[in-house]
């Protein structure tokens, strides 16, 4: 029996009224703890046993290595040769991929050659690989069949390298080769833009057209798909350093740049709304051009035409001193224009009322030609329109102030140019 003190003490600890019941509850808690511990230990032992039962040896990834050797021989230094590539294969397994299968297993890149196939080597009677003593290239036996051949021992496959086919550029005039592109069969090539892949010849310019034959009866079409055979196509090369021009925008930009221009087509400005040469001036909401101050380049028209060229020019203080007018403005001492026709050219020249200076020149072709300028085999037709403004403007159907030597102007014809002289406008303050 517990005394009153013990009962009260246990009530304060366990919150119960009966000391016996309190002891009973403590015993139950102890029994539960033991059971829980035993259960946990049993589970751990079981888990360990299960793990031991399920444990298997690490799976073997491959049995044999297949080596791909590019078989480049003595022609290539060892340091420059393509490295061998390897692939692990299970016993009696197929070689499922080869170099070039994907980006992780890329084929070696060659400038001159391509891989025709992968071959087993020829073996001597003693089982050694036979190598050509002169070339250093392994002699090949049969081609490996990737669909049927199976690997039962380590294998080295050797590349059979084929020479890439060439697309050869031939100069029509001389018959000499002036460049080529070389690619593997099946490669699809667009028209080249990089200078290293285009026709080139020291001191000459390629005229931008490719032909199927020497007679130029048919232009070569791109893209081209390479085969196993070389192909020859034909090109024109012209002596000198030229900018080849075939469009209005190209013509305008090269006049502005004062370069040497070579026409390969007629150029029609009828529907052209792009920039012209010279500087633009905005006057009263309208855009006018001032003529280029001096053209010192060369134009070889190659017997082509420039058609429907119109120039709307105005002399004003805003022009910064460039007050004269003409298709070419001033022809400098090194200008040289030949073998070309300017057909249906229209020049409109006006003078802003704020500009009162005398001695203003305008010509359909140019307002001035300097001593040294050369023009030959040039025909011009069209219209020039201007006002004389009390004789302040001096106009011409050809060149208003021609200082070129007579012997430097040959076989020119501007009979087809019409001159329209407008009445002087009434002076008005602006």
- Residue 44: the pLDDT is 46
- Residue 59: the pLDDT is 64
Q: For the chain, list residues with pLDDT below 70.
A: 1-60, 275, 278-293, 316-324, 352-358, 426-430
Report the residue count for the chain: 430
Question: Tokens at residue 84, please?
Answer: 């061998």
Q: ∠379-382-387 over CA atoms, to 5°?
A: 125
- Residue 30: the pLDDT is 41
CB distance 157 to 120 below 8 Å: yes
Calculate the CA dihedral of residues 402, 406, 410, 413 and round it to 10 degrees: 40
Going by C-alpha positions, the residue among 1, 3, 27, 33 that lies closest to residue 14 is: 27
- Residue 2: the pLDDT is 38
- Residue 353: the pLDDT is 64
In the block, which residue shows the tokens 């021992």?
A: 153
Domain boundaries along the sequence of the chain: 4-54, 64-163, 165-239, 243-422
Indicate the pairing of strand 310-315 with strand 93-94: unpaired
Fold of 165-239: Immunoglobulin-like (2.60.40)
The span from the first CA to the last CA of the chain, in angstroms, equals 132
Distance CA 197, CA 210 (A): 13
Give me the DSSP letters along 128-177.
PBPB-TTT-PBPEEEE--TTT-EESS-EEEEEEEEEPEEEEEEETTT--E
């Amino acid at each position: 029996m517990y005394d009153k003190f013990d009962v009260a003490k246990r009530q304060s600890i366990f919150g119960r009224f009966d000391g016996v019941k309190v002891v009973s509850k403590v015993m139950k808690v102890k029994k539960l703890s033991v059971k829980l511990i035993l259960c946990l230990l049993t589970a751990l032992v079981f888990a360990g046993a299960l793990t031991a039962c399920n444990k298997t040896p690490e799976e073997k990834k491959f049995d044999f290595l297949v080596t791909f050797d590019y078989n480049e021989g003595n022609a290539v230094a060892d340091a420059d040769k393509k490295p061998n590539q390897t692939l692990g294969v299970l016993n009696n397994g197929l070689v499922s991929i080869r170099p070039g299968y994907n980006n992780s297993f890329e084929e070696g890149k060659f400038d001159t050659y391509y891989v025709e196939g992968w071959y087993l080597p020829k073996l001597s009677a003693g089982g050694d690989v036979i190598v050509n003593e002169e070339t250093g290239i392994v002699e090949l036996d049969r081609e490996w069949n990737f669909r049927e051949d199976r690997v039962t021992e380590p294998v080295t496959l050797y590349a059979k390298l084929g020479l890439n086919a060439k697309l050869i550029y031939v100069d029509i005039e001389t018959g000499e080769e002036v460049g080529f592109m070389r690619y593997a069969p099946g490669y699809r090539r667009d028209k080249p833009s990089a200078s290293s892949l285009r026709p080139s010849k020291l001191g000459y310019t390629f005229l931008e057209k490719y032909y199927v034959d020497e007679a130029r009866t048919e232009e070569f079409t791109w893209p081209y798909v390479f085969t196993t055979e070389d192909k020859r196509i034909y090109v024109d090369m012209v002596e000198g350093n030229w900018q080849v021009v075939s469009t209005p925008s190209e013509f305008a930009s090269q006049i502005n740049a004062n370069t040497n221009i070579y026409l390969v087509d007629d150029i029609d400005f009828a529907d052209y709304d792009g920039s012209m040469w010279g500087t633009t001036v905005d006057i009263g909401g309208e855009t006018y051009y001032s003529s280029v101050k001096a053209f010192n380049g060369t134009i070889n028209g190659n017997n082509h035409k420039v058609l429907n060229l119109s120039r709307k020019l105005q002399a004003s203080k805003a022009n910064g001193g460039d007050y004269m007018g003409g298709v070419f403005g001033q022809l400098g001492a090194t200008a040289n224009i030949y073998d070309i026709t300017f057909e249906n050219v229209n020049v409109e020249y006006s003078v802003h009322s704020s500009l009162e200076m005398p001695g203003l020149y305008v010509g359909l072709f140019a307002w001035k030609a300097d001593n040294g300028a050369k023009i030959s085999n040039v025909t011009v037709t069209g219209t020039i329109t201007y006002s004389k403004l009390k004789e302040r403007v001096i106009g011409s159907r050809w060149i208003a102030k021609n200082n070129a030597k007579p012997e430097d102007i040959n076989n020119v014809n501007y009979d087809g140019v019409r001159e329209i002289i407008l009445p002087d406008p009434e002076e008005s303050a602006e």
